[in-house]
């Protein structure tokens, strides 16, 4: 790469030169904004076209998921003691899902927040305004969750996973 020597004397000699320089910078900024606006418009058009092309596939996936869930739930006994069934193109089954249940009434919710503070579980409180962080609360033992006034529900949740490597080999 060739060396470039920068002149010791400023290129601008007057305030008029500075003003013209500001004008040129502004014109360049406007040109960049027009280019970026055109780019964003093209991206939006491409995203919309892709969404429209993918819509039938997404709807088909939803229908197939519902059908698969209904079948797996109806034939749950085939899983035996296991919660997962390995099949040719993936796996499906049930996983234990634990959720924190909080009271709906504002007064009871305020009481839960007060108890969280009382028991030193302040990492479960998000501020402002004071709300309960269920993810942090879920990390505590069940006894601690119950003593602050919340509860846990445990349920088996349907899931599936497609084996993409086997599909790629086809």
Convert the pLDDT of each residue in 138-158 to its tens digit: 899 989 999 999 988 989 899
Residues with Cβ within 8 Å of 4's Cβ and at least 6 positions away in sequence, in order, are: none
Q: Which helix (H) or strand (E) holds 133?
A: none
Q: How many domains does the chain have?
A: 2
First and final CA of the chain: distance in angstroms?
Answer: 51
What beta strand segments (E) does 2-150 contain?
84-87, 90-101, 125-126, 131-132
Determine the structural domain holding residue 88 and report its residue range: 84-169
| Domain assignment of residue 60, yes or no | yes
Cβ neighbours around 148 below 10 Å, total:
22
What's residue 9's pLDDT? 75
What's residue 55's pLDDT? 97
pLDDT band at 12 (very low <50, low <70, confident <90, very high): confident
In this structure, are 53 and 110 located in the same domain? no
| Domain assignment of residue 2, yes or no | no
In this structure, are 126 and 95 located in the same domain? yes
Q: What is the pLDDT of residues 22-76, one digit of tens each?
A: 999 999 999 999 999 999 999 999 999 999 999 999 999 999 999 999 999 999 9
* pTM score of the predicted model: 0.63
- Boundary (domain end) residue, out of 42, 74, 106: 74
> Residues 90, 160: contact at Cβ < 8 Å?
yes
Cα separation, 37 vs 28, in Å, equals 14
| Domain assignment of residue 8, yes or no | no
| Domain assignment of residue 106, yes or no | yes
Number of residues assigned to the chain: 170
- pLDDT of 170 > 80? The answer is no
In this structure, are 116 and 164 located in the same domain? yes
In this structure, are 49 and 69 located in the same domain? yes
- Boundary (domain end) residue, out of 28, 53, 74: 74
- Boundary (domain end) residue, out of 25, 50, 74: 74
In this structure, are 94 and 158 located in the same domain? yes
Average pLDDT, the chain: 91
Percent of the chain with pLDDT over 90: 53
In this structure, are 135 and 157 located in the same domain? yes
- pLDDT of 92 > 90? The answer is yes
What's residue 4's pLDDT? 67
> Tokens 């504002």 map to which residue?
106
pLDDT band at 1 (very low <50, low <70, confident <90, very high): low
Cα separation, 124 vs 109, in Å, equals 13
In this structure, are 35 and 108 located in the same domain? no
């Amino acid at each position: 790469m060739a060396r470039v020597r920068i002149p010791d004397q400023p290129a601008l000699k007057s305030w008029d030169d500075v003003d013209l320089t500001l004008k040129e910078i502004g014109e360049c900024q406007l040109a960049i904004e027009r280019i970026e606006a055109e780019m964003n418009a093209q991206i939006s058009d491409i995203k919309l076209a892709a969404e429209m092309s993918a819509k039938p596939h997404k709807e088909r996936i939803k229908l197939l998921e519902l059908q698969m869930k209904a079948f797996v739930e109806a034939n749950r006994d085939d899983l035996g003691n296991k919660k997962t069934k390995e099949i040719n193109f993936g796996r499906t089954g049930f996983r234990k899902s634990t959720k924190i249940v909080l009271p709906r009434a504002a007064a009871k919710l305020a009481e839960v927040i007060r108890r969280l503070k009382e028991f030193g579980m302040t990492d479960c409180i998000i501020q402002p305004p004071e709300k309960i962080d269920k993810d942090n609360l879920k990390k505590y033992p069940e006894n601690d969750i119950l003593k602050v006034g919340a509860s846990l529900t445990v349920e088996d949740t349907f899931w599936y996973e497609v084996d993409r490597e086997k599909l790629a080999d086809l």
